[in-house]
């Protein structure tokens, strides 16, 4: 799968390795971005430039994270709408961690595409 398709498309399926690589990269990037931006508060207000940069960063990170998670749900032979389980506090994140991060995808082809592991 091409990098552009991996990061920005909601079609197809991926196994656990690319899921974890992208997820941990997004966590790392979030930490770096936060350090670069610094802290803001009443004594250090955010300017329009930094606010715009933060919003653009948030949109890109959410899009990439959601697209990777949807493809991971597809690998488990479930609809990408399962990503909405993230909206349930605590239980949703635990469920996503187990389903997307730990459990193996469905073996063989499914309605979302070919099994990349069985092709090797």
Q: Is residue 49 scored above 70 in pLDDT? A: yes
Distance CA 10, CA 12 (A): 7
pTM as predicted: 0.88
Tokens of 91: 């239980």
DSSP state of 107: S
Please report the pLDDT score of residue 119 as a whole number: 57
Please report the pLDDT score of residue 85 as a whole number: 97
Mean pLDDT value across the chain: 92
Domains of the chain, by residue range, sit at 13-102
Please report the pLDDT score of residue 13 as a whole number: 95
């Amino acid at each position: 799968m091409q990098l552009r398709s991996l990061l920005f498309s909601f079609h197809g399926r991926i196994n656990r390795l690319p899921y974890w690589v992208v997820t941990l990269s997004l966590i790392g990037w979030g930490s770096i971005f936060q350090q670069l931006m610094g802290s803001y508060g009443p004594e250090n207000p955010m300017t329009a430039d930094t606010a715009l940069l933060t919003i653009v960063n948030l949109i890109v990170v959410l899009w990439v994270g959601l697209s990777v998670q949807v493809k991971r749900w597809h690998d488990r032979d479930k609809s990408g709408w399962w990503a909405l389980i993230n909206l349930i506090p605590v239980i949703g994140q635990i469920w996503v961690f187990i389903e997307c991060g730990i459990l193996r995808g469905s073996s063989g082809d499914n309605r979302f595409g070919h099994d990349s592991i069985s092709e090797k």
